[in-house]
Amino acid sequence: MLLYNTLSRSKEEFKPIVHGKAGVYSCGPTVYWFAHIGNMRAFLFADLLCRTLRFNGYDVDQVMNITDVGHLVDDGDEGEDKMIVAMKREGKTAYDIAEFYAHAFFKDLEKLNITPASKYPRATEHIAEQIEMIEQLEKNGFTYRTSDGIYFDTSKLSDYGRLSGQRADEKQAGSRVDMGEKKNGTDFALWKFSPSSVKREMEWESTWGVGFPGWHIECSAMSKKYLGVPFDIHTGGIDHIAVHHENEIAQTEGAEGKLEANYWMHNEFITVDGGKMSKSLGNVYTIDQLIEKGFDPLAFRYLCLQAHYRSKLNFTWESLEGAQNALNRLRNTVRDWEVPPLRLGNEAREASLYEQKFADAMNDDLNSPEALAVVWELVDSSESTAHKSEVLLALDRVLGLHLETCVAVQTEIPSDVQKFVEERARARAEKNYAESDRLRTEIEKLGFIVEDKPDGQKVREM
Ligand code: AMP
Ligand code: ZN
């Protein structure tokens, strides 16, 4: 399998640390608001990676964190904690906010048929591990204290900036952050002291005083706990490269003297109507909003598969409609197929040419648009439909389009539609074509399409 590693800026052959196993850490959601379609692209990408690893026979252990403390509004070390903003907005406790939005997030994962990770550790449940790592960094001489917290001194690491390819001094020159008491512009908070005037709901005792962890330390501490150092693959959106992941690498290297993960993979962003999604433009869509507009959430999954994860994906309603139509066409086609042949025990089956081509596409840095093209080649091929059913279901283990609910499964026709279909059969037998057309329109009004085939009428959902 070739995977694009942001660290080396090249596609590399995937070599696992332990033969046959793959440890994957995916930066998860900050549970202060509903996840939007951009966030969901990041999780769909991580799912596609894990599914492809499994398709190749790897035993995958995926860990995804839930950020419920420490992620500040401006992604730097200033501004309010996003969870505190949500508490004020909704008048609830931080715990209730986290529960509510984590629940909504898990529902979204289900709607998109994203395979659950093995674990979803929460930052607030791993404060001791984070403190321990900061203590190790302190022992190793990477920290300093300011009036508002304990900071990581990025000048102490000779290769700080290796992920984004920017040296620390270039980064400093490019960053417009207010340095405050920081020694270097790229230094970041490991532990922030609670303001003495206000009691925060989320604060903990530590050797440095009462406070809360910085955002980046949770991922270094929890990935170490659940996957070890180093582990195989780390995923996230491209916005994480320059700060969050750079800082994760610095922390783990400072504390453990090792690289945190061998492969760093990042998905490109979703834009909406060619621009950034933003609340002020009212174009921050959630999966539920797509459903409210009548779309199947898996049409969004199909839309994401149509673009390579490292390409920008411009979301428009028309593009979603196109994906929905393609998915409907696929589902309707496979309904008429024969069931796959029954195989006894471990009876081997010859890998089909299409399966091989599909694997080649996915194993070339998850080239899902090409893999989808192979699916349509298979659909249009002259192979027997029983064979096609078998192969398509194997490929759907990677695509995750729930095709097992459609292959060789006839649509249930509601009785009112059935009544019109029978009346239409009589009208056609009597050569009353005007009546037959009227009944076709009635059937369409109920959301079904009727086609006249040599062996009679075929009805399917629109
Ligand atoms: P957050 O909840 O802000 O920590 O983000 C969760 C994930 O979504 C991260 O991996 C981000 O990099 C990713 N992400 C945020 N916005 C977008 C977007 N517009 N398109 C794709 N991924 C995004
Ligand atoms: Zn992270």
Determine the distance separating the centroid of ligand 2 and the alpha carbon of 175, expressed in angstroms: 21
Best CA proximity match to 249, nearest among 266, 237, 262, 239: 262
Of the chain, the percentage scoring pLDDT greater than 70 comes to 92
Q: 0.75 cut: is pTM over it?
A: yes
- CA 290 – ligand 1 centroid, Å: 18
With a cut of 70, say whether residue 173 has pLDDT above it.
Answer: no
Q: Residue 344 — pLDDT band, cuts 50, 70, 90?
A: low
Closest atom of ligand 1 relative to the 26 alpha carbon: 10
Per-residue confidence (pLDDT) for residue 407, from 0 to 100: 86
Q: Is the dihedral of CA 227, 164, 303, 284 positive or negative?
A: positive
Q: What is the DSSP letter of 340?
A: P
pLDDT score of 458: 76
pLDDT at residue 94 in the model: 80
Positive or negative torsion for Cα 90, 91, 97, 100: negative
Residue type for 37, please?
Answer: I
For residue 142, what pLDDT is reported?
A: 98
Return the CATH fold of 272-405: Four Helix Bundle (Hemerythrin (Met), subunit A) (1.20.120)
Q: pLDDT band at residue 101, thresholds of 50, 70 and 90?
A: very high
Please give the pLDDT value at position 120: 98
Alpha helices in 336-432 (DSSP H): 353-362, 368-380, 385-399, 415-429
Which amino acid type is present at position 94? Answer: A
The CATH class of 2-267 is: alpha beta
Q: How far apart are CA 317 and CA 460, in angstroms?
A: 24
Burial class of residue 103, CB neighbours in 10 A (0-12, 13-18, 19+): exposed
pLDDT exceeds 60 at position 175: no
pLDDT at 197: 64
pLDDT of residue 218 exceeding 80, the answer is yes
What are the beta bridge partners of residue 11?
A: 4
Q: To test the ligand 1 pocket, which listed residue (39, 48, 85) has its Cβ within 8 A of the most ligand atoms?
A: 39
- DSSP letter for 185, please: T
- Higher-pLDDT residue of 276 and 457 is 276
CA–CA separation, 57 and 53 (whole Å): 7
pLDDT at 73: 66
* CA neighbor of 213 nearest in space, from 115, 122, 310: 122
Q: Whose CA is nearest to atom 2 of ligand 1?
A: 29
308 pLDDT more than 80: yes
Helix (H, G, I), strand (E, B) or coil at 416: helix
Band of residue 275 on the pLDDT scale cut at 50, 70, 90: confident
Tokens of 250: 């610095």
Please state the rounded mean pLDDT for residues 89-96.
83
Mean pLDDT is lowest, of 94-98, 353-357, 416-420, for 94-98
Residue 302 predicted with pLDDT over 80: yes
Domain boundaries defined on the chain:
2-267, 272-405, 415-461
Mutate to test the pocket of ligand 1, among 24, 239, 240 (most ligand atoms within 8 A of CB): 239
Return the minimum-mean-pLDDT range out of 4-18, 115-129, 374-388, 445-459: 445-459
Query: Could you say which ligand is closest to the alpha carbon of residue 237?
Result: 1
- Quick check: CB of 70 below 6 Å from ligand 1? no
What pLDDT, in 10s, does the model give residues 10-58? Answer: 999 999 999 999 999 999 999 988 999 999 999 999 999 999 999 999 9
Report, as an integer, the average pLDDT of 68-84: 71
What mean pLDDT is predicted for residues 127-136? Answer: 98
Please give the Cα distance from 32 to 86 (Å, whole number).
6
Q: Which tops the pLDDT comparison, 320 or 456?
A: 320
Is 102 a pocket residue for ligand 1 (Cβ < 6 Å)? Answer: no
Virtual CA dihedral for 191, 196, 197, 198, nearest 10 degrees?
50
Over residues 90-106, mean pLDDT? 89
Reply yes or no on whether the pLDDT at 435 is more than 90.
Answer: yes
The answer to whether residue 177 scores a pLDDT higher than 60 is no
Q: With cut-offs at 50, 70 and 90, classify the pLDDT of residue 293.
A: very high
How big, in percent rounded to 5, are the helix, strand and coil portions of the chain? Answer: 45, 15, 40
Q: What is the pLDDT of residues 225-241, one digit of tens each?
A: 999 999 999 999 999 99
Distance 255 CA to ligand 2 centre (A): 17
Mean pLDDT, the chain, rounded, equals 91
- Token pair listed for 115: 């395979």
Confidence at residue 413, expressed as pLDDT on a 0 to 100 scale: 81
Where are any strands of DSSP class E within 238-383? 261-267, 270-272, 313-315
pLDDT of residue 47: 98
pLDDT at 74: 65
pLDDT the model gives residue 69? 77
Given this model, what pLDDT does residue 256 score?
A: 98
| 67-76, 193-202, 270-279, 298-307: which is most confident | 298-307
Give the pLDDT of residue 89. Answer: 86
The average pLDDT across 311-323 equals 97
Q: Which of 126-140, 272-286, 308-322, 359-373 has the lowest mean pLDDT?
A: 272-286
pLDDT bracket for residue 86 (50, 70, 90): confident
- Rg of the chain, C-alpha, whole Å: 26
Ligand nearest to the CA of 41: 1
